[in-house]
Amino acid sequence: MLRLGDEAFESASLEGSATVSANFSGLTDPRRTTQKQVSGGVSAIMFDFDGTLTATPGDRSARRYKIAELKERSGMLRPWLERLGGAGIVMGIISKSTEDTILTALGVAGLLELFQGPIVGKAVGFEGKAGFIEALCETGLLSTLRPGISARSVLLVDDDILELNRCREHGIQTYPAPLDGGLQDDEFREVCLLLGIQAPAKPKVTEAAREPASVRGLR
């Protein structure tokens, strides 16, 4: 399985090398390497929303643009989310955005059914997302969906280095999204490789998925 994944990764990398855009997310950026702590045995992935699933980090984007960005990126996101879900991983979202914005955006983008796990909005607390993830494992939805789950088998994918560091200190596995532009095929391919999941044969890569919505005059 992993070998197949390796071959697929290498093959896809070669194919992709000619089409790498200026928006390449820098998988080897040393600033991001320490945030990459994936040891396997992952039964749930909690994705950040802004700047991870959408393209624009933090609160730089208004609600309607978050929704537009997720819709624009849904063609790129879908095959990867389907693959991870198909591997038996529960997926949820944990964000400082409101639950209403997240659910509306997922609905408009047609991705809602892929997230069977917790959707946690306004995730602001003393221990940050780490505290929320621990609570989800102890008594929350993750403990219901995956009885006996521990925080060590949860992976947080986020573009916020503070949240990643705090989760890492709590033993939660972490994978950094790019500092800008949201997750791309490169990161999903690497996550699949690290988890021993074969990447989809032909991930859908479109210019629309790579470019922020603003480039196409939506702002």
Interface residues with Mg ion (CB under 5 A) are 48, 50-51, 159
Q: What is the DSSP string of the chain?
A: -HHHHHHHHHHHHHHHHTT--TT---TT-HHHHTT-B--S---EEEE-STTTTSSS-TT-S-HHHHHHHHHHHHHHHHHHHHHHHHTT-EEEEE-SS-HHHHHHHHHHHT-GGG--S-EE-S---TTHHHHHHHHHHHTSHHHHHSTT--GGGEEEEES-HHHHHHHHHTT-EEEEPPSSS---HHHHHHHHHHHT-PPPSS----HHHHS-GGGGT--
Smallest distance from Mg ion to CB 132, Å: 14
Q: Which is nearer to Mg ion, 183 or 199 (CB)?
A: 183
Q: Which is nearer to Mg ion, 51 or 203 (CB)?
A: 51
Smallest distance from Mg ion to CB 104, Å: 18
Q: Which is nearer to Mg ion, 87 or 161 (CB)?
A: 161
Q: Which is nearer to Mg ion, 5 or 182 (CB)?
A: 182
CB atoms within 10 A of CB 218: 12
Q: Which is nearer to Mg ion, 184 or 198 (CB)?
A: 184
The answer to whether the beta carbons of residues 157 and 173 sit under 8 Å apart is no
Smallest distance from Mg ion to CB 56, Å: 9
Rounded to a whole number of angstroms, the CA Rg of the chain reads 16
Smallest distance from Mg ion to CB 44, Å: 18
Smallest distance from Mg ion to CB 58, Å: 6
Q: Closest residue to Mg ion, Cβ-based?
A: 51
Smallest distance from Mg ion to CB 50, Å: 4
Q: Which is nearer to Mg ion, 51 or 118 (CB)?
A: 51
Report CA-CA distances (Å) from 99 to 49, 82, 94, 123: 10, 22, 9, 10
